Copies of this chain bind each other. A is one copy, B any other.
Amino acid sequence: MKQNYQVPAFLTKLWTLVDDSCTNELVCWSEEGCSFIVLDEQRFSKEVLPLYYKHCNMTSFIRQLNMYGFHKVVPLDSGLLKEDGRGDSVEFQHEHFRKDQPHLLTLIHRKVSVSRGVDDAGQISQILVEISQARGWQDSFDFKLMALCRDNESLWRELNSLQQKHQQQHRIICKIMQFIINTVGSKGMKGLKRKLPMIEISGETHSVPKYSRPSDSSVDSNLPSFSMPETPSPQDIPQLDSLSPGVYSNGMVFSDITHLLEPLPEQDSDPVVENTCPTSPLSPALSPVDLTLSLLDDPAGQDMAEKLAERNELVDPLSLIDSSLAAIQAYPLSPSLDTLDELFRPTSESDTHTPKRKRETKQGGNTHSYKYTAGIVRPVLQHEDLSFGGDSVEADILPSLLRLAQEASIPLHTDTLSV
């Protein structure tokens, strides 16, 4: 007579009272045993229900039936009204409520309203799992980032190395040209040869300074702002200056990217001439955008200014050269120099802005001590200018060829400038 655990009292009591032969005239199994019938609702509720439940209301009983998934069996004769009181019978059924099979009661479950408890437990455990996964990912990302940072450092190193080599090569080329000039000059022209040195030297000091100075200053003004002040840009320039006419303005700049900006939604890529940096919409005050723009503006302005100045300077000499071909013997030398000088120059400008990238925007709302600095080593490449000026030459030797080279070089300049 004890109810099974797991089976609510209502069900065991229900099965018991239906199965009780003493109450068969009030409540009983249907013929098939698949449902039960309350023959006399009135008497059943008043006489039977209180024996099992704390009430004597048919509605409460029915409510419980519904709560456990029982359904009323609609009688076929529902249409006709039964005049006598005897006729009010109610039939309910449930899939697992069968005569002689009380064990099926365990399959009957009370409807529960979303049972939050179970819900939460599962959710929480799942959440914990996901969080641990997220952590793993974060670690992974951090690791990858470190690797990438290191890779970039290597890239900068290599690139810088290559740039220096390039510069070196340029010096070699300059030397070769000097040699050629000297040799050819000394050979071809006897009386003229002495001119060269002087001209070269004087020409260099004159023309080159004019040209190189600006670039130097640009480097000075630009790089410092961009690169770290702590890294004094190496000065090979003076040396080179004294050495050869075509000088590389060589500035070794290290810039590191220590501050991280907010994620930049849209970035404009921008190669050589106008590099737009990624911008962050999130921090308006000191937003990366501003920084970027300011950084870019500066250089851009400078660059443009420089380029214009440069162009002017270049145009001038060229026209000069062209117009003064008459005095070739002495001239040939310096002209060729000019031309070469020009050839050496152009590309360097584009670089100038590059270095500016160094910026130290402090990252704001990072509440975590994740102060990771993408340890990026970024040697600012030397913006060696390739300038090495030679001009048009036409002497008895081969000035025409030189001029050709000169002319060829001109467009290139414009080219680079146009970039």
Contacts and interface: CB of A to CB of B under 8 A. Distances in A.
Contacts of A187: 184, 187-188, 328-329, 397
A169 B170 contact: yes
Nearest to A267: B258
Contacts of A300: 231-232, 234, 252
Interface stretch (A21-29, A102-110, A207-215, A272-280): A272-280
A325 B194 contact: yes
Given A142-B260, A165-B351, A369 B367 contact: yes
A141 B237 CA distance: 37
A127 B126 CA distance: 11
B357 A379 contact: yes
Interface string A54-77: 111001000000000001011111
A415 B167 CA distance: 13
Given A179-B180, A269-B377, 16 more contacts: A2-B75, A50-B79, A123-B124, A141-B372, A157-B271, A158-B355, A159-B159, A173-B176, A176-B176, A231-B272, A239-B315, A254-B270, A257-B267, A258-B268, A268-B377, A357-B377
User: In terms of DSSP, what is the predominant structure of the interface of chain A?
Assistant: helix
Number of this chain's copies in the complex: 3
Contact of A236 (B176, B280, B353, B419): B419
B351 A157 contact: yes
A415 B116 contact: no
A286 interface: no
24 contacts: A9-B74, A132-B367, A140-B368, A142-B263, A143-B374, A146-B280, A146-B363, A147-B373, A153-B278, A165-B350, A178-B404, A182-B328, A183-B332, A183-B336, A226-B271, A228-B272, A231-B272, A239-B311, A243-B412, A244-B339, A256-B275, A271-B377, A276-B377, A366-B372
